[in-house]
Amino acid sequence: MNIPHNGLQIAIIDYEMGNLFSVKRACEQAGLDVLITADASVIMSSDAAILPGVGAFGDAMDNLRRLDLVVPIKEFVKTGKPFMGICLGMQLLMSDSEEFGYHKGLNIIEGSVVRFPAENREGGKIKVPHVGWNKIFQPSSEDLTYWNESPLKNIMSGEFMYFVHSYYAVPSDKRAVLSTTTYEGTQFCSGIFLRNVFACQYHPEKSAAEGIKIYKNWASAIKSKQGYGA
């Protein structure tokens, strides 16, 4: 295996349901050397890991179990090394989901994944999935101590990001909420930052320059935490 030129190895976890190459390109734009892998030993030896994802929650958990990735993901998070979840990858971190029945998740972050309501407050039918650009708003007060800076550093509250989803995560610990977004009158958690875990419902790799800036913030934090210059 080639050693990355900056001494860091970033694993993108391949469980056959992720938008892997767009995430890889975004990481490379942020100056990270990445490896797409389903090898547990490679994941565990990496300096940071990303769980992307598109598709149904139950199918994703089935794939993670079939590929024996559930335990390695949980063990990786326990090491305290930086971990990112994107879209379905964020939802899989939760305790359970109601998508197409009841499914248990990774339970790394306590909470549930629920569907957007069928109607808004005015009784109008809500179009699902929620697809397109929408604003993310950061809480006015945050307790973000893990890297001493938010992954949304220099991202304006109210900035647009790109979404594609029908379900959203509801973390039990509201202190984990990094950003919120409103769709058809429903305010939902669009970003989580808890200890070494950063996760977002939107796709930063599809969110133009501001999305790439999030990857750069994450890259800077990884390098600084591991003793590398940002």
Q: Which of 87, 103, 159, 165 is catalytic?
A: 87
Amino acid at 8: L
CB distance 47 to 161 below 8 Å: no
Beta strand 34-37 with 177-183: parallel, antiparallel or unpaired?
Answer: unpaired
Q: Write out the two tokens for 102.
A: 């009841």
Catalytic status, residue 87 = yes
Catalytic status, residue 165 = no
Q: Which of 103, 130, 165, 203 is catalytic?
A: 203
What is the edge-to-edge ordering of all strands in the sheet holding 96-97? 103-104, 96-97, 111-115, 167-171
Choose among 124, 125, 121, 85: nearest CA to 105.
85
Is residue 143 packed enough to be buried (19+ CB in 10 Å), middle (13-18) or exposed (0-12)? Answer: exposed
Catalytic status, residue 189 = no
Give the residues across from 35 on adjacent strands: 11
Q: Write out the two tokens for 127.
A: 């179009």
Q: Give the active site residues.
A: 87, 203, 205
